[in-house]
Structure 1
Amino acid sequence: MIFENPALLAQTRRHFFGSSALSLGGAALGSLLGGTARAAGSPTAHGAALRETHFPAKCKNVIYLHMVGGPAQMDLYDYKPKMVDFYDKDLPDSIRRGQRLTTMTSGQARFPIAPSVYKFARQGRCGMWMSELLPYTARMADDMVFIRSMHTEAINHEPAITYIQTGNQVTGRPCLGAWMSYGLGSLNQNLPTFVVMVAKPTNQDQVQAISARLWQSGYLPGEHAAVSFRAAGDPILYINNPPGVDPAVRRRTLDGIGQLNQLEHQRTGDPETLTRIAQYEMAFRMQTSVPELADLNRESARTLDMYGPDVHKPGSFAHTALTARRLVEKGVRFVQVYHNNWDHHGNLTGRMQFQCKDVDQPCWALIQDLKARGLLDSTLVIWGGEFGRTIYSQGGLSKTNYGRDHHPRCFTMWMAGGGSKGGTIYGETDDFSYNIVKDPCSIPDFQATILHLMGIDHERFTYRFQGLDQRLTGVEPAKPIRELIA
């Protein structure tokens, strides 16, 4: 009888449903994915929910470089020469089509067109138009896949960045890196499967607030949340033992805590207790692996020079980009990097140069570095923001300076390596860089494409939560963009 089992009596309602969700979800996942995955896929790694991928994977690692705030596509990648003739003329109603605006520009009496002040040139054999602000990035145009027709449903930062990271505008869902950790597992048991770093921009006039909810595990087990690497000091808080505590003492302490946690799990069945045990053990293993990994002095002078002088500044984008390469080289599955201050509501020409200088050479160096080490084919590099910017100016307008408001209808992102089809230019926008006129790519389409490159069918990769088979791409129609895949 149930009353004779004290462990069951100790279970709270939350514990019961939590453990049931895990077991039922695992069973459902196994029944849905098992047979097909074993027949056609690539082997996954330690701790993976999938025994094998749904089909052979084209890449095994991801470095996602997110430009927080929304880079202005028409000043970087979406060349619109006809806008010179529209300088200071109002955006036509036939182009705006009643689109809702943010409260920052909805009260403006006019919406004056602000052509980009930057020069553009075609780059590479693919002939991609690129701004003079990106001379290093221009050198690798044929390694890159340009998506000029990204669009989103969100018009403000918090829901937009949450949407592109987690597949939903409402917080609390697992992010892309957590899904990768859950599905594909760890390639190095001495390092986290998912790492996040926040790079410090040179210019900090309008830094957006970001928080750990963007790299949380949501309803997935807690072990799949990212480990945050810090810009200065110890890479991870409390990674080192306190003074007077040697590794042997730490090991005995963890063994004792582990035994107590095992007893707690037997008593309550709470799955998060197992997560806690795993995190303690990972922290112990990282005490030896992380300090070595974070020491960039082990790199050659040639490699350091390639990333530029800022590589010697902890927390800079260059320093972070090189650390990202070291992480994937050591087997970290997913590296998320955030670079802030791309929210150019005003003084765009005064600030954009700093943003591009921060990322231009390091992005180029990262691709060359991965390529030289034979890692680019297996590592997908992603660059982009949460939405684009408006062709009309926010506030005042001059021929040398302007601001741009949020624009969800179209923006540009790029990818390189990891099975993506280098030299591809996908999608087109109208002459105002305001509406998509060819080959739109939604956020779920983009996420489905990333999963496809990792060997995962986004429709069959689910997790049972609150009675539903949840997935990254949600319930809206989505498909991998085949033209982006080599």
Structure 2
Amino acid sequence: TPATFQQNTGFQLNGFPVMGSWISYGLGAETEDLPAYVVLPDARGYPAGGTINWSNGFLPSTHQGVAFDTSSSIPIPDLLPPEGLSSKTDAASRALLASLNARDLERHGLEDAMRARIRSHELAARMQLSVPGVADLEQEHPATRAMYGLDQEATRDFGRSCLLGRRLLEKGVRFVQLISGGSFGSPRINWDGHEDMRRNHDREALRIDQPVAALLRDLKQRGMLEDTLVLFTTEFGRTPYAQSAADKVGPGRDHNMYAFSLWMAGAGLKPGMAYGETDEIGLKASRNPVHWHDFHATVLHLLGMDHEALTFYHNGIERRLTNVHGKVLRPILS
């Protein structure tokens, strides 16, 4: 949707790289055994727009987000060779693939698409060894698993995402994106509380509250919060007035693009402060409003990058995550 596109890319139209891809492009990979950018979607389904929400856009495809299935011990489909395939046959298949790639390179040169394809195959081979270990949450202490809510049905799914996210960060993944909420449906499986916001938000908050608190606590006690930036965002808020039929006041709330909140924690931030205010009814931002471009500029700054210098030439333009806008929010920096 335009709102999630703007949240992720800074633009309301699709086709632009998401923030995770820009960060992968700007910082590169810290490990050769896992992707630089991993996405952990809601176990109930992908969000509206699907894989566009972690698209590399016009950046090289090696910077696209790699989605993990958090409900599986092998979270990437078809990662491992089929059962019964011998190691000798598997090695021969890889050798044949390398030979075909080499032949194609001789004919066409090292094009971006071919380079990305070769890298993806090489990474997939290494991930056959790295992913099963990092995705094995049984390696965690039972108390840690309970802290994340893996022993409760309501919190198990998002708890697995939070715990896996921490393990991926420990293994050198640059950017991990956790998504709460699937696509449209009835009953809803996301935060879109048009019909009954209290019931909707109570249910969704129950799924994530304990796991998110556990993640922050875990990062802090491991000393990881000092150099990890945690972002908790949404694409828009809800109106302070009811969404209902003309003849009654209903319990739902419509979208509100004029005011909403997000929170940040970790590296480089002042703790325990709020920035910005709404009007008296919570409809519009009235003091220190922050645009997505400002948010993206600040995130890049906290990760050591200048949002005006991080560019990629495309279609005659030096493209940026922040387009031609954005300012770093200095008052929130430590």
Indicate whether the TM-score tops 0.5.
Answer: yes
Question: Is the contact between residue 312 and residue 319 of structure 1 (CA under 8 Å) also seen in structure 2?
Answer: no
| TM-score for both structures, normalised by structure 2 | 0.91
Correspondence 1:125-274 to 2 at 5 A:
158-200=1-43, 209-233=48-72, 234-269=74-109, 270-274=111-115
- Of the candidates 140, 147, 171, which is equivalent to residue 330 of structure 1? 171
Q: 1:311 to 1:474 in 2, by over 3 A?
A: farther
Deviation at 1:313, TM superposition (A): 8.3
Per-residue deviation, 1:311: 6.5
Does structure 2 conserve the Cα–Cα contact (< 8 Å) formed by 1:394 and 1:404?
yes
What is the Cα deviation at residue 179 of structure 1?
Answer: 0.8
* Larger RCO (CA within 8 A; separation ≥ 6): 1
Compute the displacement of 1:208 (Å).
Answer: 5.4
Structure 2: tracts of 5 or more residues without a match: 182-189
TM-superposed CA distance for 1:246, in Å, is 3.2
CA displacement 1:293-334 (0-9 Å, x = unmatched) = 111110011211211245778971111111101110111111
Distance in 2 (alpha carbons) for counterparts of 1:214 and 1:409: 22
**Alpha-carbon distance change, 310 to 356 in structure 1, aligned in 2, over 3 angstroms:** farther
Larger Rg: 1
Give the aligned partner of residue 329 of structure 2. 481
- Is 1:289 the counterpart of 2:289? The answer is no
Change (3 A) 1:274 1:309: closer
The aligned amino acid for 1:223 is: T
Residues 278, 309 of structure 1: alpha-carbon distance in 2 compared, 3 angstrom cutoff:
closer
Rounded to whole Å, the distance in 2 between the matches of 1:268 and 1:244 is 36
Conserved? CA contact 1:304–1:311, under 8 Å = no
Looking at structure 2, the residues matched to 241 and 344 of structure 1 have their Cα atoms a distance apart, in angstroms, of 43
The answer to whether the Cα contact below 8 Å between 1:232 and 1:314 also exists between their aligned partners in 2 is no
Distance 1:459 1:361 in 2: 37
Whichever structure has more strand as a proportion of its residues is 1
Q: 1:305 aligns with which of 111, 121, 146?
A: 146
Q: Which residue of 2 aligns with 1:415?
A: 264
Shift in Å, 1:402:
1.2
Q: Which residue identity is paired with 1:268?
A: H
Q: Which residue of 1 aligns with 2:286?
A: 437
Deviation, 1:473, is 0.6
- From the superposition, tell whether residues 453 and 248 of structure 1 become closer, same or farther in structure 2 (CA, over 3 Å): farther
Cα distance in 2 between the residues matched to 1:258 and 1:314: 44
Q: Deviations over 1:36-58 (max 9, x none)?
A: xxxxxxxxxxxxxxxxxxxxxxx
Q: Could you say which residue in structure 2 is the equivalent of 1:88?
A: none
User: Alpha carbons of 1:314 and 1:266: their partners in 2 closer, same or farther (altered >3 Å)?
Assistant: farther
Q: 1:309 to 1:285 in 2, by over 3 A?
A: closer
DSSP 3-state at the match of 2:202: helix
Label 1:304 to 1:390 Cα distance change in 2 as closer, same or farther (>3 A): same
Q: Separation in 2 of the partners of 1:435 and 1:418? A: 29
Deviations 1:344-396 (A, max 9, x none): 11111222111111111111100010111111111111112101110110006
Q: 1:229 to 1:458 in 2, by over 3 A?
A: same
Q: Is the 8 A contact 2:154 2:207 kept in 1?
A: no
Contact 1:166 1:174 in 2 (8 A): yes
Distance 2:227 2:58 in 1: 29
Question: Using the alignment, how far apart are the partners of 1:224 and 1:466 within structure 2?
Answer: 19
Aligned pair count?
Answer: 322
Q: Which runs of 5+ in 1 are unaligned?
A: 1-157
Q: Distance in 1 between matches of 2:52 and 2:133?
A: 28
Match of 2:186 in 1: none
Q: CA 1:169–1:266 in structure 2 vs 1: closer, same or farther (change >3 Å)? A: farther
CA-atom RMSD in angstroms: 1.9
Contact 1:196 1:227 in 2 (8 A): yes
